[in-house]
């Protein structure tokens, strides 16, 4: 667009071009400052630039995997208070997690009182020895990401802090899940469930 005002001609550039020009000028100013500061010390400049790039990449990686790192660094602990009570501590993300043995394989579950059943993530089902090729995905489950198809399967054993159940019905999700869900189908096996501040007590 061309417009005449006060005896001169001004050009209004599209937003993308203007942004590119602005960033180019900004980069030129910063680059000129860096070159003046490190004149004669290019080796030092390159070394420090590499260090800052590595710091930036590390920050990006940590942010991207912060939930997994939190669970690794600050895992929730399941403690058998007595032979009839299991205690779980709330994790930093506000959820309760339980490490259980599914067919003898360690699987991490998030306790979800809004879920009806025990839903295994595909990777956990495979590790527990469930043949994924033989599954028939006839069911539907509601998840945070929408509806996913599920297939019924059976675990020979499901063990939690010394308490073992046999022939446990589970569902395997066809969709992508980062962690398996422990729903009410399992929690109803306990006589009483209590939440005291950041502690979940399961009475059996």
**For 163-185, what is each residue's pLDDT tens digit?**
899 999 999 999 888 899 999 99
> What pLDDT, on the 0 to 100 scale, is given for residue 106?
95
> What pLDDT, on the 0 to 100 scale, is given for residue 122?
94
Does 69 reside within a domain?
Answer: no
Tens-digit pLDDT profile for residues 99-147: 999 999 999 999 988 888 999 999 999 999 999 999 999 988 776 667 8
Alpha carbon distance 138, 118 (integer Å): 16
Does 59 reside within a domain?
Answer: yes
Same domain membership, residue 170 and residue 139 = yes
Does 50 reside within a domain?
Answer: yes
Residue range of the domain that includes 96:
76-203
Alpha carbon distance 150, 189 (integer Å): 22
Please answer whether residues 70 and 62 qualify as being in contact, where contact means their C-beta atoms are separated by less than 8 angstroms: no
- Cβ count within 10 A of residue 175: 16
Does 138 reside within a domain?
Answer: yes
Same domain membership, residue 178 and residue 102 = yes
- Judged against a pLDDT cut of 80, whether residue 59 lies above it is answered with no
Alpha carbon distance 191, 202 (integer Å): 8
- Judged against a pLDDT cut of 80, whether residue 81 lies above it is answered with no
Mean pLDDT of 47-64: 69
Same domain membership, residue 174 and residue 138 = yes
Please answer whether residues 148 and 174 qualify as being in contact, where contact means their C-beta atoms are separated by less than 8 angstroms: yes
Does 107 reside within a domain?
Answer: yes
Domain count, the chain: 2
């Amino acid at each position: 667009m061309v417009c005449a005002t006060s005896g001169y001609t001004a050009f209004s550039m599209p937003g993308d071009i203007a942004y590119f020009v602005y960033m180019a000028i900004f980069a030129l100013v910063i680059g000129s400052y860096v070159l003046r500061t490190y004149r004669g010390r290019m080796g030092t400049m390159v070394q420090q630039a590499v260090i800052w790039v590595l710091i930036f990449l590390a920050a990006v990686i940590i942010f991207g995997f912060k939930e997994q790192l939190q669970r690794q660094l600050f895992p929730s602990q399941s403690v058998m208070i007595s032979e009839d009570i299991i205690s779980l501590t709330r994790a930093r993300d506000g959820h309760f997690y339980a490490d259980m043995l599914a067919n003898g394989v360690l699987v991490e579950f998030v306790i979800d009182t809004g879920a009806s059943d025990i839903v295994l993530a595909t990777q956990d089902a495979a590790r527990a020895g469930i043949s994924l090729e033989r599954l028939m995905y006839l069911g539907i489950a509601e998840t945070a990401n929408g509806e996913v198809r599920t297939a019924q399967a059976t675990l020979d054993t499901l063990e939690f802090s010394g308490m073992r159940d046999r022939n446990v019905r589970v569902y395997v999700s066809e969709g992508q899940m980062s962690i398996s869900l422990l729903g009410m189908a399992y929690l109803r096996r306990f006589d009483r469930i209590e939440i005291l501040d950041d502690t979940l007590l399961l009475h059996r």
